[in-house]
Amino acid sequence: MSTTVFRREDLAPGEVLCDHCTAKCCRYFALPIDTPVDRQDYDNFRWYMLHGDVSIFVDDDSWYLLIHNQCDHVDDENRCGIYTDRPSICRSYSTDNCEFDNNSCYDRLFECPEQIEEYADAMLGRRVPRHQRTSLPVLGATP
């Protein structure tokens, strides 16, 4: 079974890209975050990611918190239910710069807290887990 993917260049003259929209940009939002510099920063990122459908990505050396959460006003036809009163950030989008056929390839993408912790270990050196037991010397033993 062949699946045909509609592409921007497949538009017929006079056809509107919005008629094929999947509302990709209405299903998340991303906020810039400070570049991590120490273990506490990475631990804070790990905490963010423990709160549901959250990712972190790096693009052009800038870090972003990516919240996967659909806008409350996207209707069943992937249209904006408040189009005439939509926020200015939505108004700034056009079909020229929309994500319709962009597969979003980031420099780095972290999709779970363990990935952040592993990256922190690689960047800062491995840390000793807080709850790791150490061997205690045996009383009366000679070294």
Q: Taking a C-beta distance cutoff of 8 angstroms, is the pair 68, 24 a contact?
A: no
Per DSSP, which regions of the chain are E strands?
A: 29-33, 54-59, 62-67, 108-110
Residue 122, pLDDT > 80, answer yes
C-beta separation of 30 from 64 below 8 A: yes
Residue 100: pLDDT band (50, 70, 90) is confident
pLDDT per residue over 54-84, tens digit each? 999 999 999 999 999 999 999 999 999 999 9
What is the pTM for the complete model shown? 0.75
Rounded to whole angstroms, the Cα distance separating 117 from 45 reads: 9
Over residues 89-109, mean pLDDT: 81
Confidence of residue 29 (pLDDT cuts 50, 70, 90): very high
- What average pLDDT does this structure show over 44-49? 96
* pLDDT band, residue 110 (cuts 50/70/90): very high
In whole angstroms, what is the distance from residue 100 CA to residue 9 CA?
Answer: 11
How far from chain centre, in Å, is Cα 141? 54
Domain boundaries, the chain: 11-124
- In this structure, what are the phi and psi dihedrals at residue 60, rounded to the nearest 5 degrees? 50, 45
